[in-house]
Amino acid sequence: MKIDIKKIQQIESAMLKETVSILNNNNITFYMFGGSVLGTVRHKGAIPWDTDMDIIIPLPQLNKAKKLLRENLSDRFILTDLDDDPKYKNLFPRVALAHTSPDTLHIDIFPLIGLPNGYEAQRKLCKYLLKKQKTFVIYKNMRFNIANPNSVKLFIGKMIEIFCSPFSRKQLRKQYYKILNRYPYETAEYVMNACGHNGEKNIVKKDVFGNAVLFDYEDIKVPIPEQWDWYLKHYYSDYMSFPPEEEIKPWLSFTLDIDDSDYETVKELLN
């Protein structure tokens, strides 16, 4: 079963509605994040040509949020993480459709972590975390994404596998999260998305997130960073301007294959 980008966004909006309800009902602090903040402010919903949806949760509340989502999401959706799926490919959890790969249709849930004082210490930690992320990516690709038995990639992958064999992916993640807990979020002046790919640009004052501001996202209210204008200018400069049409068009024709076992769920969500 194939669905187009509008239907993908419709399903992700249903995911978001459940996720927001569960987190709000249990007093979990969270914010829309990345392009989802831009979509909320500029489009009052998803960016029309984007399939990505992101939220971010302060690290001290992340495990509680994961437990609540596992227990309370309807059977249409799941909270997927390395705890649940040994082949899961990320250092952060996702809400996804129950039987379909979470690679495209999902809500990313990023950890917002505290940072040390002093730019040099922050920069050093940021570089270290990026290095650890790359190690995890190499390891996941080596174990799960090498298909051609005759490829050079397989040979390299096997060499890496031998080198990494004392470590499981869960152990690598455990080590990573131990680093994330090094600087208490509650007392930190600066914070960052621990799993972001924008390097030092991810380092911002905690006040930027502050007390969440509620904005309309389709028919629900969602929290965005308190200093949302600064946030959007920081990441997107002139954030109300659209990208060139040639960049938008390919995404508008994007389609996704949905597992047949999710046919009835998808049909229900799209009605």
What is the distance between the alpha carbons of residues 213 and 110, in angstroms, rounded to a whole number?
19
Q: Is 60 exceeded by the pLDDT of residue 36?
A: yes
Mean pLDDT is lowest, of 13-27, 100-114, 130-144, 245-259, for 130-144
Structure confidence by residue, pLDDT tens digits, 260-269 = 777 788 888 8
* Better-scored residue on pLDDT, 105 or 147: 105
Structure-token pair, residue 57: 């949760």
pLDDT of residue 150: 55
Break the chain into its structural domains and give their ranges: 2-115+189-194+201-270
Residue 241: how many other CB atoms lie within 10 Å: 8
96-100, 166-170, 188-192, 246-250: the lowest-pLDDT one = 166-170
pLDDT score recorded for residue 265: 83
Mean per-residue pLDDT for 24-36? 97
Q: 32 with 222: CB under 8 angstroms?
A: yes
Average per-residue pLDDT in the chain?
Answer: 88
Which percentage of the chain shows pLDDT scores above 70?
88
Q: What is the mean pLDDT of residues 160-181?
A: 74
**CA neighbor of 109 nearest in space, from 177, 57, 35:** 57
| pLDDT reported for residue 103 | 81
The CATH architecture to which 2-115+189-194+201-270 belongs is: 2-Layer Sandwich (3.30)
Quick one: average pLDDT of 31-40?
97
Nearest one of 64, 56, 144 to 107, comparing CA atoms: 56
- What is d(CA 271, CA 266) in angstroms, rounded to the nearest whole number? 9
* SS3 readout for the chain: CEEEHHHHHHHHHHHHHHHHHHHHHCCCCCEECCHHHHHHHHHCCCCCCCCCCEEEEEHHHHHHHHHHHHHHCCCCEEEECCCCCCCCCCCCCEEEECCCCCCCCEEEEEEEEECCCCHHHHHHHHHHHHHHHHHHHHHHHHHHCCCCCCCHHHHHHHHHHHHHCCCCHHHHHHHHHHHHCCCCCCCCCEEEECCCCCHHHHCEEHHHHCCCEEEEECCEEEEECCCHHHHHHHHHCCCCCCCCHHHHHHHHCCEEECCHHHHHHHHHHHC
pLDDT digits (tens, 9 = 90+) for 176-225: 899 999 999 999 999 999 998 888 999 999 999 999 999 999 999 999 99
Q: Residue 70 to residues 14, 81, 125, 217, 247: CA-CA distances in angstroms?
A: 16, 10, 31, 24, 37
Which tens digits make up the pLDDT trace of 71-104? Answer: 999 999 999 998 888 778 889 999 999 888 788 7
pLDDT of residue 131: 84
Q: Which residue, among 112, 120, 126, 158, has the nearest Cα to 139 in the 3D structure?
A: 158
Integer angstrom CA distances of residue 137 from 30, 32, 89: 26, 25, 8
What is d(CA 149, CA 157) in angstroms, rounded to the nearest whole number? Answer: 11
Q: pLDDT band at residue 144, thresholds of 50, 70 and 90?
A: very low
